[in-house]
Structure 1
Amino acid sequence: MSDLLIQADELKARLQRPGCLVFDVRHDLAKPNAGREAYQQGHIPHALYLDHEMQLCAPCTGQNGRHPLPDRADFAALMRAQGLTARSDVVVYDAGNSMFAAHLWWMLRWLGHESVAVLDGGWAAWLAADGPVESGLHEASISEAQALQGLVQTRQPSMPTVDARAVLGNLDEPRFTVLDARAPERFSGQVEPMDPVGGHIPGALNRPFVQNVQADGRFKPASQLRAEFESLLGDRLDRGIVHQCGSGITACHNLFAMELAGFRGSALYPGSWSEWCSNPDRPVAKGA
């Protein structure tokens, strides 16, 4: 399995060997049950389903964004219950463009688990490769030996985060560049279908996450991604990048694409725009 991406044919071979955990995170922000229903109709054999609304976020308070990060210890317990150990090779996939898969990839790396890859092209690529399909619900099975092995949850997170206070402080004394993964019309404030306020964090640049993939949902070649990020960010790459979006999900897609391009170590603002705009004292910019 490669560092970050795995192809469908590679995964077919990998499934025959022990120690591989596959997670299905198909989801529809407008239809919260759609991902689970799709999973039950058909999924990669032995894949486990994780729900972005019910399992992969903390409760919303109205001030912490639409998909707040869970407590790290709670997330570790959830993944332990799925059978994850320090020795597990993990593959994550969604319907096709990897917006939700990249988020779980980031969360696992944030937890300290390094061996995790995204299925390039997701479920659509699996079907196109004539991968076997299983229906129904596959339950996690965890042995006593697995439970005793535990997780690497005591390690420092390998994926850094920043909070709203740090982003606010950065406006007056810039130390990093904020990169917004939302669509241009949401960034500019022309439309805002999900949050009560339109616009963007002052000084942020826009890189819609869909620009990271090709028409079939697979990621662009690393060399192309590198050239595109260099063109957009220039010498800002040397000063640090913080990714954000609407609620911290598609921001991980840009972060993942930058890792593919060889730009390692950027950070995530998990609360993103939905947290930022919940406080009227935080400034809002409009336009492109």
Structure 2
Amino acid sequence: MTRPFTTLISARELRDLLAGTTPTVVVDCSFDLADPDDGEFAWSAVHLAGSFYLHLDRDLSGSKTGLNGRHPLPGRAAFAATLGRLGITPATQVVALDRQGGPYASRLWWMLRWMGHEAVAVLDGGLDAWRAAGGAVDAQVPVAKPAAPYPERAPLAATTSADALLAQLGRVRLVDARAGERFRGEVEPLDKVAGHIPGALHRFFKDNLGRDGRFKPAEQLRAEYEALLGRDAAAQTVHQCGSGVTACHNLLAMEHAGLSGSRLYAGSWSEWSADPTRPIAVG
């Protein structure tokens, strides 16, 4: 059996994979936080031939209460049904992509690992890399071969809660993936309160990418994260962002660099800042 792709896959590797016999499902997760319809509209106009679309709000998030963040995780049973609808089983190689440098694809990557699915990778460079490599695109809506809801399996990715994080502040390495001006509290275009969780370190998710829009080499990512966190710190690290999406980009980068074991605070700043009793920091 071919070894599964578990972090990144190149356009050339994906072309070879699709030409082979490995059951493969490609999912486009393109999205725009400022225009939630934009990603689906772009997919409907042109997409990697045969790729399905999953929407961040409808498919990769659960119900919002006003206190659990802008993109809370869906229930595992609901997400299992979504995966089954696309024909994804434990034997399926899943490839996620987007057109924004990988944050939304990384969310799907992380969520599949959260469901216990190992064979999931992000297309490095997204749709642009696919087209540059001569990959086929079209506007046809593919027909899925539905399967049963994805079976219950032990998670391969860990989470933490706001209460657990609050109890660990000062003893956990916390990494914020938002842009610097949001981290410092200079602007806040999406949430009601500006700032960051006290003690958080800053690693803008786009710093994982080179000028070509692809992820930096694994060795370089490893060196950069070890410089930020120290060596052997992955298991003590929690990642967060605004709503638990771009933090998955940092989790993917660390996993690709061989730094496994970090956790996601899925509620992130949008959940944390919704409770005025929780501490905040600026600067």
Shift of 1:239: 5.8
When the two structures are superposed, what TM-score results if normalisation uses the length of structure 2? 0.95
Output the CA distance in 2 between the equivalents of 1:279 and 1:129. Answer: 47
Distance (whole Å) between structure 1 residues aligned to residue 89 and residue 56 of structure 2: 21
Percent of paired sites with the same residue: 51
Q: Give the length in aligned residue pairs.
A: 279
Q: For residues 212-271 of structure 1, give each alpha carbon's deviation from its aligned partner in whole angstroms, at most 9, with x where no partner exists.
A: 001221000011111111111125716610000000000000011011111101000000
> Could you say what the CA RMSD is over the residues aligned between the two structures, in angstroms?
1.4
> Which residue is 1:261 aligned to?
257
Deviations 1:156-182 (A, max 9, x none): 2110100000111112xx442110000
Supply the distance in 2 between the matched residues of 1:86 and 1:220 (Cα, whole angstroms).
29
- Show the counterpart of 2:112: 108
SS at match of 1:68: coil
- 2:16 maps to which residue? 13
Equivalent residues of 2:5, 2:120 under 8 A apart: no
Which amino acid is 1:164 matched to? A
Look up the SS of the partner of 2:95 in the other structure.
Answer: strand
Deviations 1:92-120 (A, max 9, x none): 10004111111100000000111001100
Alignment of 1:184-195 (within 5 A): 184-195=180-191
* Alignment of 1:217 onto 2:213: yes
2:166 aligned to 168, 174, 190, which one? 168
Question: Please, which moves more after superposition, 175-184 or 106-115?
Answer: 175-184
What CA deviation, in whole Å up to 9, does each residue of 1:119-158 have, x standing for no partner?
A: 000011011111111213223222xxx43xx5342x2211
1:1-288 correspondence to structure 2 within 5 Å: 2-18=5-21, 19-142=23-146, 146-147=147-148, 151-153=150-152, 155-171=153-169, 174-235=170-231, 237=233, 240-287=236-283
Q: Is the 8 A contact 2:27 2:54 kept in 1?
A: yes
260-269 or 174-183, which moves further after superposition? 174-183
> Aligned partner of 2:32: which letter?
D
**Gapped runs of 5+ residues in structure 1?**
none
Specify whether residues 238 and 247 from structure 1 end up closer, same or farther in structure 2 by C-alpha distance, changes over 3 A only. Answer: closer
Aligned to 1:136, the other structure's residue is in SS state coil
1: distance between equivalents of 2:88 and 2:232?
Answer: 37
- Following the alignment from structure 1 to structure 2, what is the Cα–Cα distance between the partners of residues 131 and 258? 28
The one-letter amino acid paired with 1:31 is D
| Residues 177, 239 of structure 1: 8 Å contact kept | no
Q: Which amino acid aligns with 2:265?
A: Y
